Structure 1
Amino acid sequence: MSTARTTAAMAGVLEALPTITLPEVLAEAALQVRVDRKYLLPLETFVELAARLQGTFAALRIDDQTAFRYESVYFDTAEHELYRQHLQRRRRRYKLRTRAYLDSGECSLELKLKGGRSETIKSRVGYPLADRGRLNPDAWNFVAERLHAEYGVRPEPGLAPALKTTYRRSTLVDPTGHARLTCDVDLRFTDARHSVQARPDVVLVESKTAGRAGVADQVLRELGARTIQVSKYCVAVALLNPRLRANPWHRTLQLFR
């Protein structure tokens, strides 16, 4: 199946769901501190998931669109120090990226850390779109402040753009504000040397809840889906640098190819 067919099929699925607007989403819990559960689904499984969630979840719609173009630039050292933190499952590990919302022209700088109970803690500030490929002085101050507050450490010297990911995202929201699903297709990973396209017939679904597994996670279990260990950044590094060790993600990498 081509990327275009997958995108069209996704659009058809989302049209069948009730919709929710961005102000309504922002009025609910932001889920900045949350538990993430990730699944890589064949398109057919995603279609069944959406059908079963019709009475619970709504699709985010902005300007008559339900799929939006994202671009993330990830920062790391030349030795892939942040990647190695995740590879070695260090307690104090983090990811740093800019995220551009290409349809609206908005951009943010995001720092994602791991909490003491494996929850994801995300700090985010607005960022100039023109600076998304670099860390300006305000970015360095923001990162230094947050790392000191959470971990008592300084940023690694030599942080620089390492790679870029692009994809199309649709978001399903539980209107009670306790859960959200992000659904990504058309994933591409690019560094200074080359680019890798993920399989076009899969959907990367991230279930974001304030704590325990939600309704969507229960439905996914009933459909035979299992959570996977995946980070877009770590998968991208491993796919773009096949000589690097990637033991925790060997099975996941096969699903992306």
Structure 2
Amino acid sequence: MIALNAFAPVTLESLVAQAALLTRVDRKYLLPLDTVADVVSHADPRVRVLDIDGSRDFAYDSVYFDTPDFLAYRLTALRRRRRFKLHTRTYLDTGGSYLELKTKSGRGTTVKERMPYAPIDRARITPSGGAYAADLLAQRGHEPSLVAEMRPSLVSRYRRSTLLLPDGSRATIDTDLRWSDPDGRALSLPGYAIVESKSPGRPNDLDRALWRTGHRPSGISKFGTGTAALHPELPVSKWARTLRGPFSESILTTDPQEQR
């Protein structure tokens, strides 16, 4: 159990105003839940937690889009300096939905751009969404016509808590990790959490606390690692250690209902 009630709340409006961080450096860690609970219990008491109507963790649903030959996945798996991910993100508890494009610059900075999206359209690229994504891809040096080839390739579901750190940076803790693909294959990773720090550049207090206890960023990607675990025929070198480690404990099923 990760105890967050000891920290003061922060509203969504205040969080966005203080730490929108759409251009940022992300550092991701895949950790056992008890490790995360211990680190959080020793965090700076000035940390605040996103609180909406008394809730401090929220259900997320992300539908990722890729080409038939998994180009977006391969760009990430093969460590291409310029790569992209296109997905919808739906906030199941609050009802909001967005189409998001994440790109990596040549310097490793993550840039996230998004537009409001109808939740009913979460599993498809609408004409307006396609035009938006194609324009952004062109601006980032990618072929805009790729959007016409993209279709749903992976669904990622999880519960997220968001921390506002005293230095103005953010961190998220994702639990109840689940993935599925259009063929009904489903994967869950009980007992683990993905912790992600999001800062303008330098490591934040959470990074340093994790490093002091011997934990370093794993480079895990919900899109990349989930796709690799469900499609062993694809190249996986970037996540080979993670797939041999925590993901070897994952639960793989075939459930046609999971994709819905």
Regarding TM over 0.5, the answer is yes
Which deviates more, 240-249 or 32-41?
240-249
Q: How far is 1:19 from its partner?
A: 1.5
1:164 aligns with 2:158: no
Match of 1:93 among 78, 83, 98: 83
Distance 1:84 1:151 in 2: 17
Q: TM-score normalized by structure 2? A: 0.90
Distance 1:232 1:224 in 2: 22
SS in 2 for 1:221: helix
Match of 1:173 among 158, 164, 167: 164
Distance 2:72 2:158 in 1: 22
- The aligned counterpart of 1:46 is 36
- The aligned counterpart of 1:228 is 218
Q: How far is 1:192 from its partner?
A: 1.7
Distance 1:15 1:136 in 2: 40
- The aligned counterpart of 2:229 is 239
Alignment of 1:1-257 (within 5 A): 9-10=1-2, 13-151=3-141, 153-156=143-146, 157-177=148-168, 179-253=169-243, 254-256=245-247, 257=250
Q: TM-score normalized by structure 1? A: 0.91
Distance 1:21 1:216 in 2: 21
SS in 1 for 2:224: helix
CA contact (8 A) 2:82 2:106 kept: no
> What root-mean-square deviation, in Å, do the aligned CA atoms of Structure 1 and Structure 2 show?
1.4
CA 1:15 to 1:237, structure 2 compared with 1: closer, same or farther past 3 Å? same
CA contact (8 A) 1:196 1:239 kept: no
- The aligned counterpart of 2:253 is none
CA contact (8 A) 1:194 1:240 kept: no
Q: How far is 1:198 from its partner?
A: 3.0
Aligned residues: 246
Q: Deviations over 1:129-163 (max 9, x none)?
A: 11111000111111111111221532414111111
Identify unmatched segments of 5+ residues in structure 1.
1-8
**Percent of pairs identical after alignment?**
41
Q: Deviations over 1:190-215 (max 9, x none)?
A: 11223333321111000100111111
Distance 2:46 2:213 in 1: 17
Distance 2:186 2:134 in 1: 32
Identify unmatched segments of 5+ residues in structure 2.
251-260
Q: How far is 1:176 from its partner?
A: 4.5
CA 1:155 to 1:90, structure 2 compared with 1: closer, same or farther past 3 Å? farther
Runs of 4+ in 1 over 4 A off after TM superposition: none
Q: Deviations over 1:195-249 (max 9, x none)?
A: 3333211110001001111111110011221110211111111111112221110
